[in-house]
Amino acid sequence: MLVLGVSLGASAIYAILRIIDRLTFVKPLSQQTATLNPSVTPDRPWLDLAYQLAGIGLGVVPALLAVHLLRRTDPVPSIGLDRQRPGFDLGTGAGLAALIGIPGLGLVWAAQQLGISAQIVPAALEPVWWAVPVLILAAIQNAVLEEVVMIGYLLTRLRDLGWGSWPAIVTSAVIRGSYHLYQGFGGFIGNLVMGLVFGYFFKRTQRVMPLVVAHSLLDIVAFVGYALLKDHLGFLT
């Protein structure tokens, strides 16, 4: 489980500390902001681009480590991270994205109205030429990291340790929700449900690639859509 310790498990710990910070802050949670994909050096776009690309590149390293460790015990890991069924992966991934994403918009709105979520800013890059490509790459990086580590790797390792399918799926989903707590409890609930659906799908198919596709599409729509249409999304705040 050291893979979790250097990646999403560590993120979960920091997110728990962050939600405690938010809940004990002078402002109500609903009046606070959770910003994803911020600019690092907005006054120097060339350096900002370097920071963004470095973050994306380093962000996939834990996923590569997970695949490497799986290959040490199984030369051909049965997690379905391949291109053997592109039609199935793309079609099913798009369907899963719609299944999760459409109700997810309602959940974001409801959580903010109930005051249990911060105001989420999915993208805060400066309006430079490379912003959209970087947001797309960031979405794919998130998808690869989370689905390979939280689904393909973790569920496989828990199965090897003798865990039942549902205890493993629930554990994975709770961890997924936990590292989104920095967004508030809406982020926790939405990602918990997403983890349960994705975990069940993997249990039935043993393919992680459709989940990478689905997660990529969800984040691309959120990141790029917000960047391009933020002036028309007042209903979400």
Quick: pLDDT tens for 57-100: 999 999 999 999 998 887 666 899 998 999 999 999 999 999 99
As a whole number of angstroms, the distance between CA 142 and CA 122 comes to 13
Q: How far is 226 from 149, CA to CA, in rounded Å? A: 27
CA angle 191, 4, 48 (to 5 degrees): 75
Closest C-alpha to 62, from 16, 15, 9: 9
Q: What is the pLDDT of residue 112?
A: 86
> Which amino acid appears at position 175 of this protein?
I
pLDDT tens digits for 213-227? 999 999 999 999 999
pTM beyond cutoff 0.85: yes
Strand partners, 119: 33
Q: Decide: helix, strand or coil at residue 128.
A: coil
Radius of gyration over every alpha carbon of the chain, rounded to an integer in angstroms: 18
CA 45, 58, 96, 102 dihedral sign is: negative
Q: Give the whole-angstrom CA distance, residue 215 versus residue 235.
A: 24
